[in-house]
């Protein structure tokens, strides 16, 4: 457990960043504790699958791509713990821990995808226990690397959209903190800065859970990109009066017709962008496109506990009256300028 | 100082309401302490102009119309205090207290308008000290009555717009709590309920200061009108999916062309209403129309301290980064269906 010094630089894929969400040194996994952000930047060393399951459950690590990478390393930690039990003992022990890790969060597809890949390795033919542990580590590092590459490619494809001196508005946190790389919606911004462009970002606070104010503003600042926090209700005024070049947001699921589910408030941002002639881009890996779903009307919208609205950071702010608290909304494809994916720009 | 029983009914003008923001019993002024809402309903007795000035300053009473009425009664309290000092002494003492009251809040026009009317009475010819005190009380009660009537008329003119079983969305608090009557934007809703209509209201929490969640939801509930609190960012989804019949908001200033300044977030609500074909009404007394201002571009927009966004209810939620915190925005007349005023419905 250590607190980061201000000038500490990590290499996340090919880019120097001032924090790193996750890393593995061959023995332990180090994660940035996101429950303490933005007030404390603290890295925790995890050395057992139980510690990793707890970290995922308590949102120490969060964001669908990062959860996938974390779960893969959780399996590696399990293998290291059960190493002394022989191949059969290790396979049995790790299988149990995979179930533990799978039970941490119900929604993120990445979690199950990563665990499935690790489980396939666990049951493949090997000549020795050493080889099996080696293959598990290799697969986890591959999942990690693929995630970083996905972010990098979104950054590459999106970078030309960001003008020098550009002003960008985002929503929620689809940044480096949600991935093991440089983020999705924020990746083109980091790439633009790396290329010497000046960029500034308007960050809506993103009620109810304030991922904009707490996480996005922090990570941009940490990496030298100026930002301005605004209330979600001020987005319209800012788009009308502040010469915003483009909006760039992430996505939780995209239907075949391009309708996009993302954090609550994304739809209204798209409407306000259209009203003010501001291009509206969705940055997300190709894997977010769900080929089984025709339109946004078929995407289920999670409703969360009303106390997320009645309370802020644990403090009660509203009376005990009914609350409607949808966690996501659907933005129709007609409101979206295009998609920045890891395979290239997609326009409908 | 007393706490209200749940079944206590006040008559506010011609309507029975379950709370009352201000009243005068000939000796003291009783006000509902709005700093304690929604968690405590406490009435404070004020018996000196200093106490009233403090109440206005600390937002114990708030809302432009209510501030005007409170200031007028503050002058009455001053007259009662200085009664023993003879006509000349009283005039001198009250003049000083009028200055004190004028220094409490800088923006609300109603404050200065009410104090000007009271000062005119203070210097008129009278035959006795008793007559002067009587005239001051009469003028304050007239200001109070006019405010209640203004609200009632807005309620009368707006009521036919509210269908039985209607679903309405508002913003901020333009309710009874902001006036000495039944409110402005909420007046048609109270009138509709009185006429036996079922009405439900979506209440956006209205960051940064949460007047929606703290005040509007409380006052509607207190008067038997069902409401649902939502985050400001959920307004778009609700307008798209929840069969909202109309939006109804208040106004801080209206330009000659109908452009309307109101609480931040009102403009974006109007854009979202237009996108979803929901009528958007502004309820406000005729006195809010500023004949000196041609368009909304000439209305100055107050920017407030960034800590209102960085903190919620005193608790810090965001890092010490730049914040843009406009308190108001301007909704263009083209986005407004019409105005519900105390003189009738105005369509442009």
Residue of A nearest to B206 (CA): A233
Region of poorest pLDDT, from A12-16, A126-130, B65-69, B308-312: A12-16
Whole-angstrom distance, CA of residue B20 vs CA of residue B13: 11
Comma-separated ranges of CATH 1.20.120.420 domains in chain A:
2-153
Q: From the list B39, B232, B321, which residue is nearest A207 (CB)?
A: B232
Alpha carbon of A210: minimum distance to chain B alpha carbons (Å): 8
What's the pLDDT score for residue B2?
Answer: 53
Phi and psi of A302, rounded to 5°?
A: -70, 130
% of chain B surpassing 70 pLDDT: 96
Residue of A nearest to B211 (CA): A318
B155-347: CATH topology: Rossmann fold (3.40.50)
Mean local confidence (pLDDT), B88-109:
91
> In this structure, is the dihedral angle defined by the CA atoms of residues A24, A8, A5 and A147, taken in order, positive or negative?
negative
Burial annotation A59-93 (CB, 10 A radius, 16+ → b, else e): ebbbbbbbbbbbbbbbbbbbbbbbbeeeeeebbeb
Residue of B nearest to A219 (CA): B319
DSSP secondary structure of B26-77? SS-EEEE-TTSTTT--EEEEE-SHHHHHHHHHTTSS-SHHHHHHHHHHHHHH
Judged by CB atoms closer than 8 Å, whether chains meet at B237 and A313 is answered as no
DSSP secondary structure of B140-182? HHHHHHHHHHHHHHHHHHHGGGS-TTEEEE--S--SGGGSSSS
What's the pLDDT score for residue B315?
Answer: 84
Q: From the list B235, B309, B321, which residue is nearest A227 (CB)?
A: B321
Q: What is the pLDDT of residues B188-200, one digit of tens each?
A: 999 999 999 999 9
Work out whether strand B15-17 and strand B10-12 pair parallel, antiparallel, or are unpaired: antiparallel
Residue B180, chain A, CB below 8 Å: the answer is: no
**Paired strand residues for A204:** A230
What's the pLDDT score for residue B110?
Answer: 82
Pick the CATH number of A2-153 from 3.40.50.1820, 2.40.160.40, 1.20.120.420, 1.10.10.10: 1.20.120.420
What's the pLDDT score for residue A17?
Answer: 86
Residue A263 DSSP SS3 = strand
Whole-angstrom distance, CA of residue B246 vs CA of residue B238: 12
Residue B320, chain A, CB below 8 Å: the answer is: no
pTM for this predicted structure: 0.90
List average pLDDT for each run of 10 residues in chain A, which is 348 residues long. 55 81 96 94 97 95 93 98 96 97 82 94 95 98 96 97 98 96 97 96 96 96 96 98 96 93 96 98 91 89 91 87 95 98 94
What's the pLDDT score for residue A14?
Answer: 72
Phi and psi of A207, rounded to 5°?
A: -65, 150
Whole-angstrom distance, CA of residue B175 vs CA of residue B181: 9
Alpha carbon of B279: minimum distance to chain A alpha carbons (Å): 17
Chain A 21-60, residues with CB within 8 Å of chain B CB atoms: 38-39
Q: Is the pLDDT of residue B277 over 50?
A: yes
Q: What is chain A's length?
A: 348
Comma-separated ranges of CATH 3.40.50.10470 domains in chain A:
155-347
Residues 6+ apart with CB under 8 A from A182: A12, A13, A15, A17, A148, A151, A152, A155, A176, A190, A191
Half-sphere exposure of A108 (CA within 13 A, CB side): 25
Q: Is the pLDDT of residue B202 over 90?
A: yes
ipTM at complex level: 0.90
């Amino acid at each position: 457990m250590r607190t980061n010094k201000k000038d500490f630089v990590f290499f996340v894929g090919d880019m120097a960043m001032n924090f790193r969400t996750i890393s593995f040194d061959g023995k332990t996994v180090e994660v940035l504790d996101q429950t303490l952000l933005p007030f404390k930047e603290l890295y925790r060393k995890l050395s057992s699958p139980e510690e990793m399951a707890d970290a995922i459950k308590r949102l120490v690590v969060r964001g669908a791509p990062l959860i996938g990478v974390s779960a893969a390393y959780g399996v590696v930690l399990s293998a290291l713990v059960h190493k002394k039990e022989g191949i059969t003992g290790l396979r049995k022990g790790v299988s149990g821990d995979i179930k533990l890790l799978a039970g941490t969060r119900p929604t993120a597809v990445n979690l199950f995808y990563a665990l499935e890949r690790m489980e396939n390795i666990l049951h493949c033919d090997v000549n020795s226990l050493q080889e099996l542990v080696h293959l598990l580590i290799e697969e986890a590092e591959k999942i990690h690397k693929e995630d970083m590459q996905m972010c990098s490619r979104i950054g590459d494809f999106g970078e030309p959209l960001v003008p020098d001196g550009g002003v960008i508005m985002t929503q929620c946190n689809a940044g480096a903190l949600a991935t093991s790389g440089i983020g999705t919606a924020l990746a083109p911004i980091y790439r633009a800065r790396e290329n010497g462009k000046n960029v500034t970002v308007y960050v809506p606070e993103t009620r109810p859970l304030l991922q904009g104010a707490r996480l996005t503003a922090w990570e941009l600042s940490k990496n030298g990109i100026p930002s301005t926090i605004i209330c979600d209700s001020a987005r319209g005024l800012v788009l009308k009066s502040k010469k915003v070049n483009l909006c760039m947001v992430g996505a939780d699921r995209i239907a075949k017709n391009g309708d996009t589910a993302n954090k609550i408030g994304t739809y209204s941002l798209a409407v306000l962008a259209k009203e003010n002639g501001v291009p509206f881009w969705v940055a997300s890996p190709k894997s977010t496109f769900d080929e089984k779903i025709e339109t946004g009307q078929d995407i289920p919208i999670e409703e969360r506990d009303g106390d997320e609205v009645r309370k802020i950071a644990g403090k009660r702010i509203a009376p005990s009256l009914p609350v409607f608290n949808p966690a996501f909304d659907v933005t129709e494809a007609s409101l979206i300028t295009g998609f920045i994916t890891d395979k290239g720009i997609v326009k409908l």
